[in-house]
Chain A
Amino acid sequence: MKHITYRELPGRSGYYGLLGALALVVLMGFGAFLFMEHHGHYVTGMNNQVVWGTPHVFAVFLIVAASGVLNMASIGSVFGKSMYKPLGRMAGLLAITLLMGGLTVLVLDLGHPDRLIVAMTHYNFKSIFAWNIFLYTGFMAIVAVYLWSMMERRMNPYSKPMGFLAFVWRLMLTTGTGSIFGFLVARQGYDAAVMAPMFIAMSFSFGLAIFLLVLRAMEGGFGWELGGMALKRYKNLLGVFIAATLYFVALMHLTNLYATEHHGVEAFILMNGGIYTFLFWVGFVLVGSLLPLGLLYHPATGGSRTWIVVASVLVLVGALALVYVIIIGGQAYPLVLFPGMEVSSSFNDGVVNSYAPSLPEVVLGVGGIALALALAMVAMRVLRFIPETMSDEAMQQYLEASKH
């Protein structure tokens, strides 16, 4: 395999079965949206204290993962690693569809989704949200051109500069997503510059875990081949990204723990926050980080495709837990109006705010994931995104060829 040849997804019955199932979930998500839109947000678990709920957890998860998935392409184009190059097209495609899925959830959870056109025509340029509108649409446009440069032979010379632009843009995009929270001075759980790089580390980890699952699904689904050589590199990289995420999360909490001002919120998240403490330690740290790290690096499991899949699933479970703790836990902790004082009111001042996810919110969020996957499946059926094979033998030949 001196040159990589690409192919479409084969249109077997399994393909249409899976696509149909995803379409059904998307429809259910749309139904959940119509239900919430018709009644208003009182049918959700949200309230005036926890104003961003489960849809935001899914939306942020998808948006962060979208920018992370692109990493597989960047490593090939920007850093010239041949082992990653064959997957550049798929990475670009998944980056676009995951972002679409996340944005769809975000928009459908607005109080006025019918005013999307207002958000496109009225801008307050001091708002990070307004910047993000440009970062998101710009990302899709840039990655689309990047894909074009990879897929059209005459455009190939532009794939490296486009890959570089897409890489820089994605770093800005995730910085923008992290800063949605990092710039919030009012709340104890946020207001930290480290949230931007933390979100970038999270994106690497979430994105690669999703990518590995997609690759394994293709192997199982239609006998596509991914050699152990490539897989080993990818799974080792996932381990590095898991560790990087743990590092930034630990850094944020350690910094907060040093300042007495933040002891309250830290005690809430780390010790006595009930579901949030559980999700942080068990969901994110144990299940989402330590366990997959062990599975990926332990000699007995690290070489097993099944265990790599398990580890990737666990990373995504931990990812949702972490985003839930950041978004919902950060709002559940009461605002501090009078530091050191005990406050009470009819408006839940001074008490931990309650929030329980409602069914329509969860269905809308899952619908966003299904939408992202369905869009990717359709695109992969129509255009040639998938390298013919990534068997060890083929990769060996390709690596030899690319040296010369």
Chain B
Amino acid sequence: MNETSEHTDLNRREFLTRSAATAGVALAPGVMLYSVAQARPADEPVSSAVRWGLLIDSNKCASGCSDCVSACERENGWGTGSTDETHSDATQKAQWIRKVEVKNTETGHAFTLPMMCQHCENPPCADVCPTGASFRRDDGIVLVDKHICIGCRYCMMACPYKARSFVHETLTDQKPYAPRGKGTVEACTLCVHRVDAGDSPACVEACTAENHNAMLFGDLNDPESPIAKTVATYATTQIRADLNLNPGVRYQGI
């Protein structure tokens, strides 16, 4: 009896060891991938330990190129990425991201850059929003809660970057992760659905895929991230820095 039980014990121990090893082998890539991609599990709250940021190098941004804009349109279903907004005129159609051409008329120096929601640390849009529909996530992404936006458009009055658009008509073919709707205000979400899944925003992906490499996305709070290292090394500019809003989008070469 004793012998048998010892045998059984041994077998059990062996079984447990092997199981643990197998589980370890199965989980390791996941854990590795997780740490690489920095994806946040869906049941974990957003943390202010992370500050998502975007660094745009105007020197590498070509005049006339709008790959980032097209990618955003396709990803989030606006502009050419949607069959909607047929009634709105050009001034009424939404634009989440746009290319701005800038020229110094005295010196002649010119540059171009993509302009979108600057994901301010102190966003004026969220300050003025009466219902709190405009808000900033702890990780720095500024969003609109489409359920409590009453369409008062005060945020559009307050935004120094004209980053927001108002939907002027009924829409039908929205993306599930970008629920655009008539009578509400919308803007760049920094592709929050992709960021939460561990990807970078669609504009950045497109810019990199086309080898322009003018856009760098990452965690400004992580000293080891490429974006944090770059902003620590080179001079970068915040647009309307005089307002002291500390935007998460920074620029080089302007």
Q: Which residues from chain A sit less than 8 Å from chain B, CB to CB?
A: 39-42, 46-49, 51-52, 110-113, 115-116, 118-119, 122-124, 126-130, 133, 180, 183-187, 331, 335, 337-338, 340-349, 353-354
- Contact indicator per residue, chain B 215-254, by CB within 8 Å of chain A (1) or not (0): 0000000000000000000000001100100000000001
Given contacts A40-B168, A184-B158, A346-B95, contact A119 B243 (CB under 8 A): no
User: Are the C-beta atoms of A130 and B130 separated by less than 8 Å?
Assistant: yes
Q: How far is the CA of A49 from the CA of B254 in the complex (A)?
A: 25
B5 sits at the interface (CB 8 A) = no
Pick from B89, B94, B156, B183: contact of A110, CB under 8 Å: B183
Pick from A111, A123, A133, A340: contact of B132, CB under 8 Å: A123
Given contacts A112-B149, A112-B183, contact A338 B157 (CB under 8 A): no
B101 sits at the interface (CB 8 A) = yes
Q: Which residues from chain B sit less than 8 Å from chain A, CB to CB?
A: 87-89, 91-95, 98-106, 115, 124, 126-133, 148-154, 156-162, 164-170, 182-185, 239-240, 243, 254
User: Are the C-beta atoms of B150 and A51 separated by less than 8 Å?
Assistant: no
Q: Which residues of A contact B93 (CB under 8 A)?
A: 48
Please list 18 pairs of residues, one from A and one from B, whose beta carbons are closer than 8 Å in the complex, sorted by A's number: A40-B183, A42-B168, A48-B164, A110-B183, A111-B151, A111-B153, A111-B184, A122-B148, A126-B127, A129-B130, A185-B243, A186-B157, A337-B160, A340-B106, A341-B102, A345-B100, A346-B99, A349-B162
Q: Which residues of A contact B165 (CB under 8 A)?
A: 48
Nearest 9 CB-CB pairs, A to B?
Answer: A111-B151, A111-B183, A129-B130, A47-B91, A186-B160, A40-B169, A42-B168, A124-B132, A122-B131
User: Are the C-beta atoms of A111 and B166 separated by less than 8 Å?
Assistant: yes
User: Are the C-beta atoms of B100 and A186 separated by less than 8 Å?
Assistant: no
Given contacts A40-B170, A126-B127, A129-B130, contact A49 B151 (CB under 8 A): no
Pick from A123, A133, A338, A353: contact of B91, CB under 8 Å: A353
B173 → chain A closest CB, angstroms: 16
Q: How far is the CA of A46 from the CA of B168 in the complex (A)?
A: 9
Q: Which residues of B contact A116 (CB under 8 A)?
A: 150
Q: Which residues of A contact B126 (CB under 8 A)?
A: 124
Q: How far is the CA of A46 from the CA of B132 in the complex (A)?
A: 24
Given contacts A47-B92, A346-B99, A347-B162, contact A340 B104 (CB under 8 A): yes
A340 → chain B closest CB, angstroms: 7
User: Are the C-beta atoms of A124 and B99 separated by less than 8 Å?
Assistant: no
Given contacts A111-B153, A124-B129, contact A342 B103 (CB under 8 A): yes
Given contacts A40-B168, A41-B92, contact A111 B150 (CB under 8 A): yes
Q: Which residues of A contact B184 (CB under 8 A)?
A: 111-112
Q: How far is the CA of A354 from the CA of B91 in the complex (A)?
A: 9
A124-B131, A349-B98 given; 6 more Cβ-contact pairs under 8 Å = A41-B183, A111-B149, A112-B150, A122-B132, A122-B148, A185-B160
User: Are the C-beta atoms of A42 and B162 separated by less than 8 Å?
Assistant: no
User: Are the C-beta atoms of A48 and B92 separated by less than 8 Å?
Assistant: yes
A37 to B, closest residue via Cβ: B183
Q: Which residues of A contact B131 (CB under 8 A)?
A: 118-119, 122-124, 130
A183 to B, closest residue via Cβ: B128
User: Are the C-beta atoms of B130 and A51 separated by less than 8 Å?
Assistant: no
Q: Which residues of B contact A337 (CB under 8 A)?
A: 100, 115, 160-162, 239-240
